[in-house]
C-alpha cells in the first residue's frame, strides 16, 4: 500500500504575487549612478561607507552628491548581490549611530568587468566623437 503523502501546505497569498511581479522587474545590469557608486566603492577600498564613497564621486564629477542617493544605489546593488555590507560600532561623533561598511562581492566584480567590456565596445570606432569637436 502506497502511503498517501500529505498535500504540501502551499498557499500563495496575494501579497506574495505582488512581490514576485515586482522582483521580476529587477534589472541585473548596472545603471549609470550604480556604476559610479560601485566604482567609487572599489576605489575607496577597505572601510568604505557612505561618506568616503560620496566624496570619491564628488571628486570625480565635481558635483555635490546626495548621501541618500548613494545609500539608495548601494541598497539596490545589495539586493542584486553585487555588494555586501556589515554594520560597525556606533561612535559619539555620529550621534551614537553605527557605520555601515560595504564591499564588492565576486558577482559584483564580474558584473563590473562585463559592463566595462560592453561600454568599451560601444565607445570604440565612433568617428563622431573623434577630434574633440561637438
> In this chain, which of 43, 71, 105, 112 binds another protein, going by CB under 8 A?
71
- Closer CB to another protein, 12 or 134, in the complex: 12
Q: Would you count residue 18 as binding another protein (CB under 8 A)?
A: yes
Q: Would you count residue 22 as binding another protein (CB under 8 A)?
A: yes
Q: Would you count residue 50 as binding another protein (CB under 8 A)?
A: yes
From the DSSP assignment, how many helices (H) and strands (E) are in the chain?
Answer: 5, 2
> Please, are residues 76 and 93 in contact by the beta-carbon 8 Å criterion?
no
Q: Burial letters for 72-85: b for 16+ Cβ neighbours within 10 Å, e otherwise?
A: ebbebbbebebbeb
- Closer CB to another protein, 4 or 63, in the complex: 63
For residues 56 and 37, what is the distance between their CA atoms, to the nearest angstrom?
A: 9
Please give the grid coordinates belonging to residue 97. Answer: 549611530
Binding site for another protein (CB under 8 A): 15, 18, 21-22, 49-51, 54, 64, 66-69, 71-72, 75, 87, 90-91, 93-95, 97-100
Amino acid at each position: 500500500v502506497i502511503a498517501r503523502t500529505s498535500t504540501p501546505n502551499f498557499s500563495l497569498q496575494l501579497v506574495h504575487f505582488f512581490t514576485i511581479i515586482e522582483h521580476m522587474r529587477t534589472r541585473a545590469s548596472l545603471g549609470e549612478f550604480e556604476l559610479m557608486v560601485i566604482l567609487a566603492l572599489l576605489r575607496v577600498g577597505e572601510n568604505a561607507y557612505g561618506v568616503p564613497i560620496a566624496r570619491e564621486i564628488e571628486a570625480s564629477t565635481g558635483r555635490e552628491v546626495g548621501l541618500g542617493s548613494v545609500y539608495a544605489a548601494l541598497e539596490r546593488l545589495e539586493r542584486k548581490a553585487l555588494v555586501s555590507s556589515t554594520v560597525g560600532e556606533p561612535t559619539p561623533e555620529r550621534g551614537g549611530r553605527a557605520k555601515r561598511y560595504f564591499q564588492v562581492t565576486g558577482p559584483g566584480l564580474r558584473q563590473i568587468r562585463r559592463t566595462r567590456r560592453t561600454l568599451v565596445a560601444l565607445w570604440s570606432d565612433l568617428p563622431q566623437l573623434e577630434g574633440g569637436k561637438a
